[in-house]
């Protein structure tokens, strides 16, 4: 077995073991202290983990290193890079269209009211949490959650800004005293690590 066949064999087995365990690439990467990009590279057969990582992986899935490196079924390649890039690009375009649409609607409303001699700039304050919530939902739908904690944190902040400007009170700045602990809770919650289950060794 040459190095190419070995990479493809390992890739096939890693995919089968990971999906069989119900783990995402990010879950497996966290267990191995590697990024999900590294896991993806291994599963595409572009590289092979070193001996130490293979040993760690064998312990996680309850198999031997030899099992990971031995052929058991035909390797099926994952989606190629260009297809993934095309999907990612499409997702970015959809998100951008949604954001531009929200702010265009807000600007249209502002100009319409302006034509009737009503200057209501708070319409942009209304658009702020709406656009941040829409962005949050869309990145979750398209699984583009690399910066999820920052997006959630920004959404929480926009809610405080919205309440600050829309409450019938004069300068309720005390609201922002609650913003700091709220942001801390968001960032701590988003950094709770999920530890994949360590399976017992197969007999």
145: exposed, middle or buried (C-beta count within 10 Å: 0-12, 13-18, 19+)? middle
Asked whether residue 23 carries a pLDDT value surpassing 60, the answer given is yes
Please check whether residues 43 and 108 belong to one and the same domain: no
Please check whether residues 64 and 87 belong to one and the same domain: no
DSSP state of 175: G
Asked whether residue 22 carries a pLDDT value surpassing 70, the answer given is yes
Please check whether residues 143 and 107 belong to one and the same domain: yes
pLDDT (mean) for 45-74: 86
Asked whether residue 84 carries a pLDDT value surpassing 50, the answer given is no
Over the chain, what is the mean pLDDT? 81
Asked whether residue 54 carries a pLDDT value surpassing 60, the answer given is yes
Q: How many CB atoms lie within 10 A of CB 200?
A: 7
Listed residue (49, 48, 40) closest to 78, CA to CA: 40
- Report the alpha-carbon angle 155-192-176, nearest 5: 35
CA 161 to CA 132: how far, in whole Å?
A: 12
Can you give the pLDDT at residue 170? 65
- For 96-126, what is each residue's pLDDT tens digit? 999 999 999 999 999 999 999 999 999 999 9
Structurally, the chain folds into a number of domains equal to 2
- Ramachandran bin of 80, using left for φ above 0, alpha for ψ from -120 to 50, beta for the remaining angles: beta
Asked whether residue 36 carries a pLDDT value surpassing 60, the answer given is yes
pLDDT (mean) for 134-157: 84
Which of 38, 69, 100 is where one domain is finished? Answer: 69
Domain that holds residue 167: 81-190
Residue 160 domain-assigned (yes or no)? yes
* Banded pLDDT at 193 (limits 50, 70, 90): low
Please check whether residues 97 and 186 belong to one and the same domain: yes
Residue 74 domain-assigned (yes or no)? no
Asked whether residue 45 carries a pLDDT value surpassing 60, the answer given is yes
More confident residue, 8 or 78: 8
Residue 197 domain-assigned (yes or no)? no
Residue 154 domain-assigned (yes or no)? yes
Can you give the pLDDT at residue 185? 86
pLDDT (mean) for 84-107: 80
Residue 93 domain-assigned (yes or no)? yes
Can you give the pLDDT at residue 171? 62
Please check whether residues 99 and 21 belong to one and the same domain: no
Q: Which CATH number fits the domain that encloses residue 30?
A: 1.10.260.40
pLDDT (mean) for 155-169: 84
Question: Is 98 in contact with 138 (CB distance < 8 Å)?
Answer: yes
CA 52 to chain centre: 28
Please check whether residues 105 and 147 belong to one and the same domain: yes
**Please, which residues have CB within 8 angstroms of residue 138's CB and are 6 or more apart in sequence?**
91, 94, 95, 98
Rg (the chain; Cα; Å): 24
More confident residue, 154 or 197: 154
């Amino acid at each position: 077995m040459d190095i190419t066949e070995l990479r493809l064999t390992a890739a096939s087995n890693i995919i089968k073991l990971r999906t069989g365990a119900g783990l995402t690439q990010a879950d497996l990467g966290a267990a191995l202290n590697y990024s999900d990009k590294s896991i993806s590279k291994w599963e595409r057969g572009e590289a092979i983990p070193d001996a130490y990582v293979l040993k760690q992986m064998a312990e996680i899935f309850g198999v031997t290193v030899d099992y990971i490196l031995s052929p058991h079924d035909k390797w099926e390649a994952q989606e190629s890079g260009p297809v993934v890039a095309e999907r990612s690009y499409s997702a970015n375009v959809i998100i951008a269209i949604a954001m531009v649409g929200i702010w265009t609607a807000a600007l249209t409303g502002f100009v319409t009211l302006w034509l009737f001699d009503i200057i209501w700039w708070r319409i942009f304050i209304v658009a702020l949490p709406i656009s941040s919530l829409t962005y949050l939902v869309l990145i979750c739908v398209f699984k583009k959650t690399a910066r999820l904690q920052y997006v959630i944190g920004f959404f929480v902040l926009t809610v405080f800004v919205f309440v600050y400007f829309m409450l019938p009170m004069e300068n309720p700045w005390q609201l922002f005293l609650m913003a700091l602990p709220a942001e801390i809770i968001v960032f701590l919650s988003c950094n709770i690590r999920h530890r994949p289950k360590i399976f017992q060794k197969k007999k």
